[in-house]
Structures are given as C-alpha cells and as structure tokens.
C-alpha cells in the first residue's frame, strides 16, 4: 500500500517521524510536503497530496499542519477527497469505517506515539459497507 503524506513548515518533524515509522512498517510513502521549517502556504501542499490521491499515485493520505484544520479545509475543497480532521484513535477508525475518508489531517501538536496509533488505525480500518453509511456518503457526494 502507498501512503501519501504532506505538511507545512510546522509539520516537518511529525512528518519525518511518521515517514520513518510507516517505512519501517513496510508501507511505501510518498512525500508531498515541505522539508524545511521556512514558512510556506499550506494550501499548496494540501493540493499536492490531494492530486496524488485523486490520480491514484497513493492509496490514502495524511496531512499535518499546526492544527490540522487548514489542511482539512483545503483538501475537502477537492472533489473526490474526503478528509477527516482527527485527534484520536477512535476518530481515525470512524473516519474510515463510517465515512470512508481517504485522507486524515492532524495537528503537529499530537504526541508522536498517539500519531502512530491514529495512522495505524486509519490505514488498517476498512469501510464498513453498512447501508446507512453508504447512503450518507452518497448524500455527501
């Protein structure tokens, strides 16, 4: 499985941590983020990840910025991207099982050990295919 990851200047350290972790876990990781702490505009990097998901360069995406909110808003402007701003393991699980999210956005302030658990659960949780969630997701589309 290929995982895309992006970040702005505030998310560099968390991105580097997750890239090393995901690679160790056997995932192919594509870096769409900045590698510097010099200030950048997060929408540019959100767009790169979104295009990667839409073009099927990667299967799922992870976005990291100061709060995760900006990345989430920018990504959700792209038709076909379903980005959930998550802060906990349960949100990561439900974003996949109920909402079939293809990207998550996180705050760089989340503890790295918690980030690992969030990302693991996001990647490993399949969509539930329950009719009410299918119906609701179709309503969003």
Q: Is 17 left (phi over 0), alpha (psi -120 to 50) or beta?
A: alpha
Residue 98 annotated in active site: yes
**Nearest CA to 95 among 43, 140, 48, 37?**
140
- CA distances in angstroms from 131 to 76, 122, 135, listed in the order given: 23, 21, 6
H helix intervals, 1-141: 12-24, 42-54, 69-76, 89-97, 112-124, 131-140
Q: What are phi and psi of 30, to 5 degrees?
A: -110, 125
**Candidates 9, 83, 98, 112; catalytic one:** 98
**Candidates 9, 65, 83, 112; catalytic one:** 65
Element of type H or E holding 105? strand 103-107
Residue 65 annotated in active site: yes
115 token code pair: 């980030």
- The set of catalytic residues is 65, 98
């Amino acid at each position: 499985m290929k995982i895309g990851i992006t970040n702005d200047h505030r998310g560099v350290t968390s991105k580097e941590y997750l890239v090393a972790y995901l690679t160790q876990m056997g995932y192919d990781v594509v870096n769409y983020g900045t590698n510097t702490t010099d200030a950048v505009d997060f929408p540019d990097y959100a767009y790169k990840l979104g295009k990667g998901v839409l073009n099927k360069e990667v299967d799922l995406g992870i976005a990291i910025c100061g709060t995760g909110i900006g990345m989430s808003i920018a990504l959700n402007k792209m038709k076909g991207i379903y980005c959930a701003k998550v802060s906990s393991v349960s949100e990561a699980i439900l974003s996949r099982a109920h909402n079939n999210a293809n990207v998550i956005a996180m705050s760089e302030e989340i503890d790295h050990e918690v980030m690992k658990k969030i990302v693991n659960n996001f990647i490993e949780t399949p969509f539930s295919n329950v009719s009410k969630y299918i119906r609701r997701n179709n309503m969003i589309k």
